[in-house]
Chains A and B, each alone.
Chain A
Amino acid sequence: DTGVSQDPRHKITKRGQNVTFRCDPISEHNRLYWYRQTLGQGPEFLTYFQNEAQLEKSRLLSDRFSAERPKGSFSTLEIQRTEQGDSAMYLCASSHAGDGAYEQYFGPGTRLTVT
């Protein structure tokens, strides 16, 4: 397995447009996480899945954000009606269940720029 992959790597969009990102985790990992990172900050938790179930969602996540993991494999993160404040690096990570939460494997990220 080649690790966690994310697509696209870069996305430039105009304010008000919808965008969707994809994450393919390490195949044997049943947990998948989404984070957002801005310059000079650590990754900020958005949501996570165990298999296809979305088990936790950040209270900071507005209703414009939605994530799915329909078959317990890849996941998508959609942002509707993008705003300039959504500009950030969106990171996906995967891990084993249980104590695997400590050791998460991150993908290269999708850099979103909202103009």
Chain B
Amino acid sequence: GQSLEQPSEVTAVEGAIVQINCTYQTSGFYGLSWYQQHDGGAPTFLSYNALDGLEETGRFSSFLSRSDSYGYLLLQELQMKDSASYFCAVRGGGGNKLTFGTGTQLKVEL
């Protein structure tokens, strides 16, 4: 099966940079995705990495190290609207489903 670990909560101030880590265990790894979910909202796709390295999309970047079974999401120039839960999700096990972590609640303060 698949399992993922991420911190339950992170707090940062507006304008800062924050990194949300994710470690995973899976067989047949294909890639790691990141999703954002505001309270009461649906998850929305942010980024994914299939290969090692950094992917940048505006203020958000995602990194993957397949040898370490580790990835992170980097959020720069934090804004209050970034307060949300962030989930890493692994595609593995030979299928096309995503297995989500338990999520990291990000609180952005003034």
Interface residues of A (CB under 8 A from B): 31, 33, 40-45, 48, 50, 55-56, 91, 93, 99, 101-109
Given A40-B102, A102-B31, A102-B33, also A31-B45 (CB < 8 A): no
Are the CB atoms of A44 and B100 closer together than 8 Å? yes
State whether B102 touches A42 (Cβ < 8 A).
yes
Please report the C-alpha to C-alpha distance between residue A56 and residue B31 in the assembled complex, in whole angstroms: 19
Which residues of the partner chain A approach B72 to less than 8 Å between Cβ atoms?
Answer: none
A56 touching B97 in the complex, CB below 8 Å, given contacts A42-B89, A104-B45:
yes
* Residues of chain B having any CB pair with chain A under 8 Å: 31, 33, 41-45, 48, 50, 87, 89, 91, 95-103
Instruction: Report chain B residues within 8 Å CB of A107.
Output: 42
28 of the cross-chain contacts (CB-CB < 8 Å) are A31-B96, A33-B98, A40-B102, A40-B103, A41-B103, A42-B89, A42-B102, A42-B103, A43-B87, A43-B98, A43-B100, A44-B100, A45-B99, A48-B97, A55-B95, A55-B96, A91-B42, A91-B43, A101-B91, A101-B98, A102-B31, A102-B48, A103-B33, A105-B45, A106-B42, A107-B42, A108-B41, A108-B42
Q: How far is the CA of A81 from the CA of B1 in the complex (A)?
A: 29
Q: Which residues of B contact A101 (CB under 8 A)?
A: 91, 96-98
Q: CA–CA, A109 to B38, complex, Å?
A: 13
Question: 9 additional contacts, CB 8 Å, given A42-B100, A43-B98, A101-B97?
Answer: A33-B97, A41-B102, A45-B99, A102-B33, A102-B48, A103-B33, A103-B48, A105-B45, A106-B44
CA distance A79 to B73 in the complex (A): 36
- State in angstroms the CA–CA spacing of A109 and B50 once bound together: 28
Task: Give the shortest distance, in Å, between B16 (CB) and chain A (any CB).
Answer: 25
Kindly list chain B residues whose C-beta atoms are within 8 Å of the C-beta of A109: 42
A56 contact set on B, CB distance < 8 A: 95-97
Is the Cβ of B43 less than 8 Å from the Cβ of A43?
yes
A31, A44, A45, A105 — which one has the most chain B CB atoms within 10 A of its CB?
A45
Which one of B41, B87, B95, B96 contacts A42 once the chains associate, using CB atoms below 8 Å?
B87
Residues of A near B95 (CB, < 8 A) are 55-56
